[in-house]
Structure 1
Amino acid sequence: MSLLTVQGLGKSFGGVKAVDGISFEVAPGELLALIGPNGAGKSTTFNMVNGQIKPNTGSITLGGRELTDLKPREIWRLGVGRTFQIAETFSSLTVVENVQMALISADGRLFSLWRKAAEHKRAEALALLNQVGMAAQADRPCSVLAYGDVKRVELAIAMANDPKLLLMDEPTAGMAPKERNELMALTKRLVVERGMAVLFTEHSMDVVFAYADRMIVLARGRLIAEGQPAEIRDHPKVQEVYFGSGKTFEKKTPGTPSLQEAA
């Protein structure tokens, strides 16, 4: 049973069809990777699901609820979390305060002075930080954290509204290989534990093939392939359109595929 259902989604900018009638589903407990070359329509698709861009055609439903006429904040309140390519945190606040602010927002409460909210939701914030391995750094300013740790904090913030669906836009951008794998392994664990669905865009193919349950591939606004990683790796249309002739996926080590020139 799907949680997110996208049917016939389309968006044009002037005479250019950025997204051309694509359809796909994401089930609870599933990591679905949305990949494609530059200009494929990934960001436009992602932003339509999030409510930042209104589609010209098609529908987007979450658990049967239509999302296409809703604003991003309304979609967030329905249980859709999001992380961004460039991590977004308040650098002047501590780690725990960042998560508290997200929890307060999810709770729909406003405070005129931060000191009044200093202890509000602290226990819940610490519990989320514990899940992402950041509880020990709860009282440190975000400004002093390593980038990989900031991304973990952002993940905790994204889970503040207990999301059914998590949208992750280039979650490992700017991260070293070890950090990339640690973050995605953490995400995979949370998906299993919470039963939430994840739709993510990603350029690092080692991450995509190691952690995605399924993949959808776009090219020039159209969906050209959909399936499990092994199917996508060997898909001739993906090889031709996404990577260009003479390239293929080859594994350097088991479970860690990379894009290599064909021998």
Structure 2
Amino acid sequence: MSLLQIRGLQKSFGGVKAVDGIDFDVAAGELLALIGPNGAGKSTTFNMVNGQLRASGGSVKLDGRELVGLKPREIWKMGVGRTFQIAETFASLTVVENVQMALISSHGKLYSLWSRAASAYRNEALELLDQVGMKADADRPCSALAYGDVKRVELAIALANDPKLLLMDEPTAGMAPKERNDLMALTKRLVVERKLAVLFTEHSMDVVFAYADRMIVLARGRLIAAGSGEEIRNHPKVQEVYFGTGKTFEKPLAQEEAAA
């Protein structure tokens, strides 16, 4: 049984159908890419799964439990983590303090003064930072980090509630080729080790084809294709609406790194 089941999902804004009755599943231990041209309905779909938008129709089930109608925090408590296109961390706090704050929230604890919370869940936070390769930078302020490292910290924060499903919105946006490769290789490792399900949107086709286990393609709110990289690359409808002639793909990541 799939961890996440989407059936007949719809969202209308006035008379415009942004998402028009799509179906797809995500399994535990799977990295699924949600791709499509601008205006395809990717962000709308993503935000309905997360609860930021309420679906006009259809169903979103996590482990058989309906998510439609729940608030984002309720969905987060059920085991859904998220990262954002623009990394969201507290720049004034240290790396470890950012993760501690997420753990405090996950455990439902309240502290009136940060001094009382300064040691809370520090060891657990350090373990998460170790998993994303940022333990050595634990006591540095986030404001001093390179952007690729901030993205790693954000990933540690997203793992603080031990999610079953991780939603990643444009995870490599603004990153250099090597940073993109490092972050997605890390994500792939976590998928395998934690049996984590990951749904991600991404414009960089090198990232998608290198790391996604499967892909689903939206166009004008409808799902037009689903399958492996090779199936998507050769799909005539995808070539028509997403790649134009179907012959124009971004350079493979290794070529980009060599040229950088």
Residues 1-263 of structure 1 aligned to structure 2 (within 5 Å) = 1-245=1-245, 247-249=247-249, 252=252
What TM-score do the two structures reach when normalised by structure 1?
0.95
What TM-score do the two structures reach when normalised by structure 2?
0.96
Q: Is the 8 A contact 2:204 2:250 kept in 1?
A: no
CA displacement at 1:70 relative to structure 2: 0.4
- State the identity as a percent: 80
Letter in 2 for 1:176: A
Shift in CA distance, 96/252, structure 1 to aligned 2, threshold 3 Å: closer
CA displacement, residues 25-84 of structure 1 (integer Å, 9 cap, x when unaligned)? 000000000000000000000000000000111000000000001000000000000000
Give the aligned length: 256
CA displacement at 1:230 relative to structure 2: 1.0
Say which structure is richer in strand: 1
Letter in 1 for 2:143: S
Letter in 2 for 1:108: G
Segment drifting more, 240-249 vs 210-219 = 240-249
CA displacement at 1:253 relative to structure 2: 7.5
Unaligned runs of 5+ in 2: none
Q: Is the 8 A contact 1:233 1:249 kept in 2?
A: no
Q: State the secondary structure of the residue aligned to 2:9.
A: strand
CA displacement at 1:245 relative to structure 2: 2.7
For 1:43 and 1:109, the matched residues in 2 are separated by 32
CA displacement at 1:252 relative to structure 2: 4.7
CA displacement, residues 110-144 of structure 1 (integer Å, 9 cap, x when unaligned)? 10000001101000000000000000000000000
For 1:227 and 1:246, the matched residues in 2 are separated by 16
Q: State the secondary structure of the residue aligned to 1:247.
A: coil
CA displacement at 1:217 relative to structure 2: 0.1
Q: State the secondary structure of the residue aligned to 2:242.
A: helix
CA displacement, residues 71-107 of structure 1 (integer Å, 9 cap, x when unaligned)? 0000000000000000000000000000000000000
Q: State the secondary structure of the residue aligned to 2:190.
A: helix
